[in-house]
Amino acid sequence: MGARELANYSYEDYLQIVQTTPENERYELIFGHIYAMAGASAIHQDVVLNIASFFKSLKKETNCFPRVAPFDLKLECAGSINVVQPDILVYCNEKELPCAIFEVLSPSTAYKDKTVKKDLYEQCGVLNYFLVDPEAKTVDKFLLKSKKYHYIGCYGIDDKMEIECFDMEVDVKEMFE
């Protein structure tokens, strides 16, 4: 099942929906639209685990830590309350807003990750946004400058990529092992 979309919902509507549905059903509220979330594939979960484990191993030296879905991120910006479940969030220095979000692409979510979620994270001020393609083993990087995302580039498994939250470079292959 792909991501199903329902329009013109408030945060209160969203709360009523999630409180009256089974726990294994997940939803996101983005700019008044509710999206039903599909289950993840094995390769998707493997990449999420790799990325989260890698960032968890850096906690002591970076003062940053990861969170993984299902984990509700409530974002209030652009005149609306939004609730999303990014694949991986990285929090640094005890701030409320994650400084990096990684979305692992799948056929049912790729369009939403590349459009509405990217727009949401940009408008809410998330510094780094990464789109991870588990099939191609690539990472597209966006960096927030002057309140707009700038596309920095596509990185493959032989590349190193800077993550501004940490002020360090990481080997992209660590995400796909």
Q: Note whether residue 4 is domain-resident.
A: no
106 contacts 135 by C-beta, under 8 angstroms: no
Q: Note whether residue 135 is domain-resident.
A: yes
141 contacts 156 by C-beta, under 8 angstroms: no
| Cα distance between residue 83 and residue 60, in whole Å | 29
Q: Note whether residue 79 is domain-resident.
A: no
**CATH number, domain with residue 107:** 3.90.1570.10
Q: What is the pLDDT of residue 140?
A: 98
Q: What is the pLDDT of residue 89?
A: 95
* 131-163 residue pLDDT tens: 999 999 999 999 999 999 999 999 999 999 999
User: pLDDT at residue 1 above 80?
Assistant: no
User: pLDDT at residue 3 above 60?
Assistant: no
Contacts of 34 (CB under 8 A, 6+ apart): 5, 6, 7, 9, 13, 14, 17, 27, 28
* 21-54 residue pLDDT tens: 887 788 999 999 989 888 888 899 999 999 999 8
Q: Note whether residue 143 is domain-resident.
A: yes
| Cα distance between residue 134 and residue 136, in whole Å | 6
* 89-133 residue pLDDT tens: 999 987 889 999 999 999 888 999 999 999 999 999 999 999 999
Q: What is the pLDDT of residue 4?
A: 52
Q: What is the Cα 105 distance to its own chain's centre?
A: 10
163 contacts 100 by C-beta, under 8 angstroms: yes
Q: Note whether residue 88 is domain-resident.
A: yes
**Residue numbers of the domain that contains 112:** 41-70+84-175
Q: Note whether residue 108 is domain-resident.
A: yes
| Phi–psi pair at 25, nearest 5 degrees | -95, 130
Q: Note whether residue 112 is domain-resident.
A: yes
Q: How many domains does the chain have?
A: 1
User: pLDDT at residue 2 above 50?
Assistant: no
Q: Note whether residue 36 is domain-resident.
A: no
